[in-house]
Amino acid sequence: MDKTIHQRENVFAKRENLRIFQSKNIFDTDFIPEVIIERPDFQMVIDFFDNCLRYELQGNLIIIGPSGSGKTLSVRFYGQEAERYAKDKGIDFKLIYLNCREIMSPYFFYQALLRQFGEKVPKGYGTSELVEMFINHIRDSRHVVLVLDEFDKLYSTSQEKANDIVYMLSRIKSNRDLGVAISTIMISNNVHLSENFDTPVQSSLNSKILHLGAYNAEELYHILHSRAKIGLLESAYEEGLLRYCSALTAKNSEDARFNIRLLFNAGELAEKDGEDKITETHIKNSINLTKRETETDAIERLSLNQLIVLYSLVNFKRRNNIKLIPVKTTYCEAYKLICKQVGYEEITYPHFWRLVNSLGQYDLVYSLLQTPKQGGFRRVVELNVDEEAVEKIFKIKIA
Ligand SMILES: Nc1ncnc2c1ncn2[C@@H]1O[C@H](COP(=O)(O)OP(=O)(O)OP(=O)(O)O)[C@@H](O)[C@H]1O
Ligand SMILES: [Mg+2]
């Protein structure tokens, strides 16, 4: 038996012949490259950090743009640059990054902030004690920049709770006893974000707004090119292939993340076929897989409340074997029951309807109005989602 092991080629030695990738983790969504493709709009992000570093100016920036338009990357990249500059120059500057996807209340919010300082919250503490703890941590700093990514997801829990969070934060910012400047960057892909803010929040924020548009095929190509250079072997692709890939993406979604993933999947396919060059056929054959992965990613990135709403729609549709799902009936006959089963606080019907609409933003549902015979209208939706995937993610995250 020993002999056979030595005679045959090692499983991994055989894989050494696969000649497509230089590195695979540079294709990860969270990967921050050493250089990024600049777009003129990023200047506002640079100016924002510059004001923090050199003039200790307390500011608030809201960045809005569609999926894969470089919102997270630009803030993380220039934020890192700002941290490095501050370190070199001995400037007291702290950057805190928080994703709002799973923040359900002011308590969760401050708990997550404190976690960034390596602090565990003792049992029995209330929100105001957490706020105190947070203030104590930043009291001796000069400038703290708080990045709140996927900020709109905060509003999927409750408009009131989200406004409470923002309002409390603005109160800390205006506390004159604290010598620290606190700036915030809020990132969202919902253009209607600020409609959620109530008036005191609006006025306390006094924000600059940066609207980032989707990338065009040329920009997608340059981003892909810079990624291919560090992720693929030079011999594994031609520039024309990257142009082909970017043109296909531009037709489908204009999302830089989709484009990078499409190239990665095509590379894996070429590798599986034992080839040493990625072809247009590999790209074409990876489109469906990439679409499915992007959809699963969108479901995984939903806030917990959005996920329960989506699961209720799936559940009601399946139980009644229908295509067009009535929203109000789903709320009464599926949503409320599911909340009870998983021990979640119910939201009101108007809030439920808002969340159904927010799912449309990710193309997971299409909403329509139906006019029944007796007059009036009825809100119905059609699902555009892999129902099994919704069920699976719901079970992992909630049930
Ligand atoms: N200008 C750029 N230069 C290099 N890579 C980029 C650039 N813009 C985006 N990317 C890459 O494209 C992908 C998507 O970008 P990013 O995560 O910033 O999107 P986003 O706007 O935050 O999208 P979402 O709203 O879905 O969170 C990431 O892998 C990122 O590294
Ligand atoms: Mg992002």
* Whole-number pLDDT of residue 201: 67
pTM exceeds 0.85 for this model: yes
- Could you tell me the pLDDT band of residue 374, with boundaries at 50, 70 and 90? confident
pLDDT digits (tens, 9 = 90+) for 74-106: 999 999 999 999 999 999 999 999 999 878 788
The Å distance, Cα 71 to ligand 1 centre, comes to 6
For tokens 């570093």, the residue is 53
Q: 367: helix, coil or strand? A: strand
**Topology adopted by domain 40-211:** Rossmann fold (3.40.50)
Q: What whole-number distance in Å separates Cα of residue 171 and Cα of residue 36?
A: 36
Q: Would the CA dihedral through 34, 35, 41, 42 be positive or negative? A: positive
- Quick one: tokens of 62? 């809201």
Largest Cα–Cα distance of the chain, in whole Å? 82
The residue to mutate among 223, 253, 299, having the most atoms of ligand 1 within 8 angstroms of its beta carbon, is: 223
- Could you tell me the pLDDT band of residue 141, with boundaries at 50, 70 and 90? confident
**Topology adopted by domain 217-297:** Helicase, Ruva Protein; domain 3 (1.10.8)
* Whole-number pLDDT of residue 373: 65
CATH class (in words) of the domain with range 302-397 = mainly alpha
Helix (H) or strand (E) holding 73: helix 71-89
One fold for 40-211 and 217-297? no
Percent of the chain with pLDDT over 90: 64
Those residues with Cβ within 8 angstroms of residue 225's Cβ, 6 or more apart along the chain or in another chain: 239, 242
DSSP track, 230-253 = HHB-GGG--HHHHHHHHHHHHHHT
* Whole-number pLDDT of residue 57: 82
Per residue, what are the HEC states of 302-320? CCHHHHHHHHHHHHHHHHH
The total number of residues written for the chain in this structure = 399
Query: What does the pLDDT average to over 186-196?
Result: 78
pLDDT digits (tens, 9 = 90+) for 242-275: 999 999 999 988 899 999 999 999 999 999 999 9
Q: 98: helix, coil or strand? A: strand
Q: Shortest CA distance to 356 belongs to which of 345, 342, 346, 366? A: 366
Query: Could you tell me if the CB of 67 is within 6 A of ligand 1?
Result: yes
* Whole-number pLDDT of residue 19: 86
Q: What whole-number distance in Å separates Cα of residue 94 and Cα of residue 79?
A: 10
Those residues with Cβ within 8 angstroms of residue 146's Cβ, 6 or more apart along the chain or in another chain: 96, 98, 113, 169, 182, 183, 184, 185
The Å distance, Cα 201 to ligand 1 centre, comes to 29
Query: Higher confidence at residue 329 or residue 177?
Result: 329
Report the 10 Å Cβ neighbour count for 82: 22
* Whole-number pLDDT of residue 362: 85
Domain-by-domain residue ranges, the chain? Answer: 40-211, 217-297, 302-397
- Could you tell me the pLDDT band of residue 1, with boundaries at 50, 70 and 90? low
Those residues with Cβ within 8 angstroms of residue 94's Cβ, 6 or more apart along the chain or in another chain: 138, 141, 143, 144, 145
- Could you tell me the pLDDT band of residue 158, with boundaries at 50, 70 and 90? confident
pLDDT for residue 2 is more than 60: no
* Whole-number pLDDT of residue 171: 82
Percent of the chain with pLDDT over 70: 95
- Could you tell me the pLDDT band of residue 366, with boundaries at 50, 70 and 90? very high
pLDDT for residue 205 is more than 70: no
- Could you tell me the pLDDT band of residue 121, with boundaries at 50, 70 and 90? confident
pLDDT digits (tens, 9 = 90+) for 8-62: 888 777 777 778 999 999 999 889 999 999 999 999 999 999 999 988 788 899 9
pLDDT for residue 164 is more than 60: yes
Mean pLDDT for the chain? 90
Give the amino acid at 271: E
- Quick one: tokens of 212? 């980032």
The residue to mutate among 24, 67, 73, having the most atoms of ligand 1 within 8 angstroms of its beta carbon, is: 73
